[in-house]
Chains A and B, each alone.
Chain A
Amino acid sequence: MPAWITPIIAPFIVLNVVIGIVTYVTLLERKFAARMQSRIGPYRVGPHGLLQPIADALKLMMKEDVVPTRADRRVFNLAPIVFLIPCMLIFATIPFAPGLGVADLNIGILFFLAVSSMEIVGLFMAGWGSNNKYALLSAMRAVNQIISYDLPFIFAALVPVMLAGSLKLSDIAAAQSGLWFVFYPVIGQLAFAAFVVSTLAAENRVPFDILEAESELVAGFRVEYSGMKFALIQLGEYAHIVGTSFLGALLFLGAWAGPGPAWLGPLWFLLKAMFLFLLVTWIRWSFVRIRVDQILALSWKVLLPATLALLVATSIVVVWRHGAGV
């Protein structure tokens, strides 16, 4: 096979698979949430609702594309794309099995964290370009919240990096062949907990979803979007959640480690990522949200010092365990 084909086909395949997973993850969330609320989720479209995501996608494609009269057209139209691209790009660095990934960079996790923070640009563009006070309010809250929680997110993700001693994601996965980092005494669990909480906040999931807050801001920054642009924003949001679930599974839950032959690895990886996603969903459907000043207080006063202290402790543990040469 010519050498230039692989860099084209591999991302294409990964992108399509990711979009497929993301679409069906919405159905998974709806059914899971429904069962927690004594009802059944989508049921009629296809057997047990299996064709619901496809019906939703078709519907959104056929909807009228509304641009408000006084909205900043260029910003408004570009925002969903600018929002979606980082959310899709994060899948480039994730290795789905040893050697199976688009680009297993040496600085894999750094790339992931940096690019995933870029969605905030798209978000603010959407809020500003809509020329809508609700959207603007939500965008301002978004900038506040996501920036505040990216720091604890990064620090919590750095704990496995330090424990593994490498920024390369496949190295981190390989370093868990003995013991998954989530089972690492004390530090692993605390880092996992901090990771989950920061994930919730960095992705606007309840209890930190002050920026969409349907009961106050009616969909927040995406209130003026309809049709395919809305679909792109939804896709971006869910892709981001699935992406960080994959990252969490890789950092803490041992990635593709699991019983059975090696080619089952990606399947275990998917299952672990889905477990993390369901954990986030479970939390989402159990709690009310907290106010923005409380969210920020939690981040700056509690989570940031805690994760910093955790990082310091991890470094002490690593030096103590592996000697000063590492």
Chain B
Amino acid sequence: MATPTLSRVELDYSGGERLTMNMGPQHPSAHGVFRAILTLEGETVVGVDAVIGYLHRCHEKLSETLTYAQYPSIASKTDYVAAMTSEFAYVMAAEEIGKIEVPKRAQYLRIVTAELQRVASHLLWLGTWCMDMGGALGGGATIFLYCIRERELILDLFESLVGARLLYGFYQVGGVRYDIPSGWAQSCRQTIDLIEQRIGEYEGLLEQNPFFMARAHGVGVISRELAEDVGIAGPLLRGSNVNFDLRRAAPYSSYEDFKFAVPVEAAGDCFARYRVRMAEFRESIRIVRQVLDGLPEGAISSRPGLKSVAQVRIPKGEAYSRVEGPRGEVGCYLVADGSAKPYRMKWRGASFSNLAVLPHIIPGHKVADVVAIMGSVDPVFGEVDR
């Protein structure tokens, strides 16, 4: 088979008793469509060749044919697990070029949905990671179903706000499209209270568990130098002792109004990343509570309601906007040329950059660790392949 040699790590295929095994695009724990060509010596992995591109749908070219009013619904489809994040990056880039003000209420609503989306995405991460480690017919599936049960509650909230459960179309250039219905704040508070309690239950289920600790401690260590070198972001970075969170370092959309902590762990292994994400649950819930307490009255968009497809025209310019998504930094680089469609748009996919660390940390581990590491890196291939 033709192995694309795009990785910089030099693979040594010589040596006795090496087995090349394909962890192919169709695989129960590939987290999407991901092909890893593993070179094994017994049970130890000595080389990883990553092949991506199975989910490429030409988002960047597509965005040149769709206007600023149409594309946000499509942007959801890059990171389909945390759909609000991508929309956020796109509309922020357009607003930055066009110097469009976003009303305060819209900014707060954006934060609420972004943080709820982070909780939902991390719930999915926890479920699928435990399922990878525990098997679809085993304890992993139990935790998976519990997490999905909780995620459904958040999706119910989104459904009563937007009408859709997975791929929204909530953001628009200038603000958001929907205002919260009455009673939503109340049910939102009830939901996050319940989820906070259940997360405590899951931590109790996993943390002192010897089987889980054996699988997660010391596995997939990303050293601080490697983390800063390769360009990963998000919980991977914060699990390797780098205190960098875009919501703190470069606050956008009124994040500076809220008090929250940025969890950082020093160990750099799967367990550290797990702890970072569990702490992020609690911080996101804290932010949602603060936003709901202080939600100002006002308009939800600074532009008039959408009446025609080419209504939003952005003057000539370019901007790169960054959003701290559940997986890391999602960036959108937009070049506008004064018409209703962008001239060029490029996504910086968080998972795409995070995957680059795999050939550095997997060799030396056993086959079983490959799934544990991939789960803790938490890629979503819509973001990788776009």
Contacts and interface: CB of A to CB of B under 8 A. Distances in A.
A and B touch in the complex (CB under 8 A): yes
A213 B214 CA distance: 16
A289 B21 contact: no
A86 B21 CA distance: 32
Given A291-B368, A292-B43, A212 B214 contact: no
A218 B27 contact: yes
Chain B CB within 10 Å — which of A36, A137, A212, A290 has the most? A290
Contact of B135 (A33, A141, A212, A292): A212
Contacts of B140: 215, 288-289
Contact of A286 (B142, B149, B370): B142
B214 A291 contact: yes
A213 B370 CA distance: 13
B23 to A, nearest CB: 8
A216 B139 contact: no
Given A133-B19, A214-B137, A286-B139, A38 B132 contact: no
A290 B209 contact: no
Given A137-B367, A286-B142, A214 B135 contact: yes
B139 A292 contact: no
B66 interface: no
B149 A289 contact: no
A277 to B, nearest CB: 15
A82 to B, nearest CB: 24
B242 interface: no
A137 B141 CA distance: 23
B313 interface: no
Contacts of A218: 27-28
Chain A interface category by residue count:
20 to 34
B166 interface: no
Interface in A271-290: 284-290
B136 interface: yes
B30 to A, nearest CB: 9
B282 interface: no
Given A137-B367, A206-B138, A293-B43, A287 B209 contact: yes
Interface string A16-40: 0000000000000000010011110
Given A37-B146, A207-B211, A216-B29, A291 B138 contact: no
Contacts of A213: 135, 368
A289 B139 CA distance: 8
Interface string A289-308: 11111100000000000000
A290 B371 CA distance: 12
Interface string B95-133: 000000000000000000000000000000000001111
B145 A39 contact: yes
Contacts of A104: none
A144 B373 CA distance: 24
B141 A285 contact: yes
B255 interface: no
Nearest to A212: B135
B134 interface: yes
A214 B142 CA distance: 15
A119 interface: no
Interface in B360-385: 366-371
Interface string A204-228: 0011011011111010000000000
B215 interface: yes
A37 B142 contact: yes
Interface in A226-250: none
Contacts of B370: 216
A287 B141 contact: no
Contacts of B28: 214-215, 218
Contacts of B252: none
A137 B205 CA distance: 31
A289 B135 contact: yes
A284 B138 contact: yes
Contacts of A212: 135
Interface of A: 33, 36-39, 133-134, 137, 141, 206-207, 209-210, 212-216, 218, 284-294
27 contacts: A36-B142, A37-B141, A37-B142, A37-B146, A38-B146, A39-B145, A206-B134, A206-B135, A206-B138, A206-B139, A207-B139, A214-B136, A285-B139, A285-B141, A285-B142, A286-B205, A287-B134, A288-B140, A288-B209, A288-B215, A289-B133, A289-B138, A289-B211, A290-B211, A290-B214, A290-B215, A293-B366
Given A214-B135, A214-B137, A288-B140, 15 more contacts: A33-B142, A37-B142, A38-B149, A39-B145, A137-B43, A206-B134, A206-B135, A215-B28, A215-B140, A285-B142, A287-B212, A288-B138, A288-B143, A288-B209, A291-B214
